[in-house]
Amino acid sequence: QSVLTQPPSASGTPGQRVTISCSGSSSNIGSNYVYWYQQLPGTAPKLLIYGNNQRPSGVPDRFSGSKSGTSASLAISGLRSEDEADYFCATWDDSLSGQGVFGTGTKVTVL
């Protein structure tokens, strides 16, 4: 089971702002960088946010990330139909000799 907790679902109408939370602990989010991925059905995950709040080139500025303490958030502003996908947070966990960990995933639906 994942050590990072996300809400299973989120939704909004086109143009709205949607926020997804990712809750962890001091050994993971609290002391390491957070990454966010978007996954469309049948495809590999796509990196949306790295280093807590940085966007790779090509990712629209509608996507933004933040981190505070042992939690992180991904915000999608100006929601569009093509944003309907699964979203996962990820980070490193310093416990258990160090390992990568992913969030439980959030399905975003555009109403």
Where do contacts with other proteins occur on this chain (CB under 8 A)?
2, 32-33, 35, 37, 39, 44-47, 50-52, 54, 56, 88, 90-92, 96-105
Q: Please, what is the minimum distance in Å from the beta carbon of residue 16 to other proteins?
A: 25
Whichever of 13 and 44 has its CB closer to other proteins, that residue is: 44
Taking the C-alpha atoms of residue 23 and residue 89, their distance in angstroms, rounded to an integer, is 9
Q: Please, what is the minimum distance in Å from the beta carbon of residue 101 to other proteins?
A: 6
Whichever of 21 and 92 has its CB closer to other proteins, that residue is: 92
Taking the C-alpha atoms of residue 8 and residue 4, their distance in angstroms, rounded to an integer, is 12
The beta strand positions in the chain, using DSSP E, are 9-12, 18-23, 35-39, 46-49, 63-68, 71-76, 85-93, 99-102, 106-110
Q: Please, what is the minimum distance in Å from the beta carbon of residue 14 to other proteins?
A: 27
Whichever of 81 and 96 has its CB closer to other proteins, that residue is: 96
Q: Where do runs of H (alpha helix) occur along the chain?
A: none
Q: List the structure tokens of 56.
A: 């790779």
Q: Please, what is the minimum distance in Å from the beta carbon of residue 86 to other proteins?
A: 8
